[in-house]
Amino acid sequence: MYKVKVENVSKIYDINRNRIAKVLSLLTFGKLYKAKPFYALRDIDFEVNAGDSVGILGLNGSGKTTLSDLIAEATVPSKGKIHINGRTSLIAISAGLNQELTGEENIRIKCLMHGLSEKQIADRYDDILKFSELGEFIKQPIKNYSSGMKSRLGFAIAIHTDPDILIVDEALSVGDETFANKCIDRMRDFQEQGKTIFFVSHATGQIRQFCNKAVWVQYGEMKQFGEMKDVVKKYAEFVNQYKNLTKDEQIEYKDKMVGIQMEESQHLDLPKEKINMNSVAIGTLLFLFMMFGIVFQIFSL
Ligand SMILES: Nc1ncnc2c1ncn2[C@@H]1O[C@H](COP(=O)(O)OP(=O)(O)OP(=O)(O)O)[C@@H](O)[C@H]1O
Query: What does the pLDDT look like over 24-53, one tens digit per residue?
Result: 766 666 666 677 788 899 999 999 998 999
Output the pLDDT for position 161.
86
CA 31–ligand 1 middle distance (angstroms):
28
Please check the confidence at residue 273 and state whether its pLDDT lies above 50: no
d(CA 296, CA 86): 55
Pocket of ligand 1 (CB under 6 A): 13, 15, 38, 40, 58, 60-66
Ligand 1, atom 14, lies closest to the CA of 63
Average pLDDT, the chain: 85
Ligand 1, atom 23, lies closest to the CA of 61
Local structure of 133: helix, strand or coil: coil
* CATH class for the region spanning 2-86+195-300: alpha beta
CA 216–ligand 1 middle distance (angstroms):
15
Domain boundaries, the chain: 2-86+195-300
Of ligand 1's atoms, which has the minimum distance to the CA of residue 217?
A: 21
Number of residues in the chain: 301
Q: Phi and psi at residue 120, in whole multiples of 5°?
A: -60, -40
Cβ proximity of 104 and 138 under 8 Å: yes
Nearest to 64 by CA among 204, 163, 237, 187: 204
